[in-house]
Amino acid sequence: MQIDIITVLPELLESPFSHSILRRAKEKNLLSIHLHNLRDYTPYKHGQVDDYQFGGGAGMVMMPEPLANAIEQLSSAVRYDEIIYMSPDGERLNQQMANQLSLKNNLLIICGHYKGIDERIRQHFVTREISIGDYVLSGGELPAAVLVDAIGRLIPGVLNDETSALTDSFQDNLLAPPVYTRPADFRGWKTPEALLSGDPKIVAEWRYEQSLERTRERRPDLMP
């Protein structure tokens, strides 16, 4: 999979993609991530990419021409399955969406800033708008990093144990069950006997019941 990201702050994304699972994905050539500085595509002096909004009001707006130049130039070399704009008024990111996007070949992500991007870019280029929550951040870089991480770990071969991702929270609309490791008895706090039984059926049943209970308590909105 190839993911291209248009941003005015590429340095903000260098660290999240240089460590842990995403670094492993890149080293295995399962995922390539390319950061593109929007200022490299502007025809305006001093790398200008934003201007005052028509109609007045506080806050600057990212201009259409630099974004259109970047999108068109990148699209001339790569056929994107989705051109995604990270926006607080987009679809709410969830596990099912991450699953779907992990099956794509090429994604282009646009990181907004200031009051956002010119509406004409959203209307004529963007194919999907995604939000990571009902709050506003300083820019789209951190949401883009969240999205790429959620997608990247699902690519086959990225995780050492591919079944790990299949048992994550939300994969089956349930929260993940509690997990335990050694020692079995820590300060008198004991591991449930079912997990020590050695019987896969007993373990599976216990985990399912715990997932149901945890979901009912913490996220009843997920229950059918």
The whole-chain average pLDDT of the chain stands at 93
Which of 79, 173, 172, 82 lies closest to 130, judged by CA? 82
**Structural domain includes residue 160:** no
Domain end: 152, 187, 205, which one?
152
In this structure, are 24 and 82 located in the same domain? yes
In this structure, are 63 and 103 located in the same domain? yes
Which of 129, 83, 135 lies closest to 104, judged by CA? 83
H helices of 64-169, in order, are 64-75, 95-102, 119-124, 141-152, 163-166
In this structure, are 209 and 145 located in the same domain? no
In this structure, are 147 and 172 located in the same domain? no
Structural domains of the chain, count: 2
3-state helix/strand/coil string of 93-119: CCHHHHHHHHCCCEEEEEECECCCECH
CATH of residue 123's domain is 3.40.1280.10
In this structure, are 116 and 216 located in the same domain? no
pLDDT, one tens digit per residue, over 57-89 is 999 999 999 999 999 999 999 999 999 999 999
Amino acid 36: pLDDT: 98
**Structural domain includes residue 161:** no
In this structure, are 140 and 172 located in the same domain? no
pLDDT, one tens digit per residue, over 196-212 is 999 999 999 999 999 99
In this structure, are 41 and 133 located in the same domain? yes
Cis peptide before 183 (omega within 30 of 0): yes
**Structural domain includes residue 158:** no
**Structural domain includes residue 118:** yes
Find how far residue 5's CA is from the centre of its chain.
12
In this structure, are 63 and 134 located in the same domain? yes
CA–CA gap between residue 42 and residue 109 (Å, rounded) = 18
Residue range(s) defining the domain that contains residue 145: 2-152
In this structure, are 127 and 177 located in the same domain? no
Q: Which residue has the tokens 């010119």?
A: 118
In this structure, are 179 and 142 located in the same domain? no
Amino acid 169: pLDDT: 55
pLDDT, one tens digit per residue, over 91-117 is 999 999 999 999 999 999 999 998 999
pTM of the model: 0.89
Domain end: 99, 125, 152, which one?
152
CATH of residue 201's domain is 1.10.1270.20
What mean pLDDT do residues 140-159 have? 94
Using an 8 Å Cβ cutoff, are 13 and 7 in contact? yes
- pLDDT for residue 170 is more than 70: no
**Structural domain includes residue 93:** yes
